[in-house]
Amino acid sequence: MGVKLWLLATLVLFFIKDAFAQNWSVALPGCQESCGSLVVPYPFGIGSNCSASKVFEIHCNNSFNPPKPFLRMSTLDAYTYLEVMDISVLDPDKGATARVKYPITRDCIDKSDEDPVIDLPSGFTFSDTENRFIAMGCDNLALLTSGLYPEEFTTAGCVSMCNTSSPKYDNSCFGINCCQSKFQYPLLNIRTSLNPSRSGQASARCNEGPRYGFIVDQNWFEGLEDIYSVRKMKTVPVVLNIDSLTSECGKNAGWATQSLCSCQEGYEGHPYLPRGCQGEFLK
């Protein structure tokens, strides 16, 4: 009889715990929790008064089917919106990150007059560990700069060369048809410039065909079946670091790292919400 009661009690606790876990909310009370397929965890929030600050406000554009989530970023004289692919605020190994779709810079094909310099809000940086700087095309000297004139500095660069008589591509990216480089620091803003790699060729800059340059989530890029499919895209995934999510953790939560909260032992829930984590009876 004692064993049966123990098994029954265990099953009851299991179902209580399972139901409790499924009823977690990651948004503030009364706030929309998802936009399209993206679940938006606090301190991010959809719409006004649902995030910890304006920089974490997600704009859910319902004109798309399904709706798409965007973060508003500032440029030199206006604003632009970057589509958000995913948000992670609980990974102690990678820290807090967001993946967004970021525009590719191109030359000699569909080129705008000027690629905007997007200033990330305070607390966001382009990850120097998760991203790589990539250039594609023939005779392409690609440079990645940061800062604002006159204090711009070059932080990465590479030269992509190719033999037009042998246009066969593989998925390597080490200088022939494609080159890659790391950049040294997390960056607040970036600008990509594309130029002929050989001196004296400026007047014939498009003779060798289109050039491309972009930073990109390296794991996504390396997982492509054909890396050159990127040339038909307008944007690619880029990882943003989030250095500071909140000044304090929620109830029954504490700092797992210098920048991430987690529930205390025996509690479960979303550690950033003011009500924090619950369920001490689940120990």
Mean pLDDT on 73-95? 86
Instruction: Quote the mean pLDDT of the chain.
Output: 85
CA dist., res. 126 & res. 215, Å (int): 9
Which pLDDT band holds residue 152 (cuts at 50, 70, 90)? confident
DSSP state of 62: T
| Contact assessment for residue 206 and residue 108, using Cβ atoms and an 8 Å cutoff | yes
159 has pLDDT over 80: yes
130 has pLDDT over 70: yes
Which pLDDT band holds residue 115 (cuts at 50, 70, 90)? low
Mean pLDDT on 174-192? 92
236 has pLDDT over 90: yes
What's the token pair of residue 220? 């996504």
Beta strand pairing call for 45-46 and 57-61: parallel
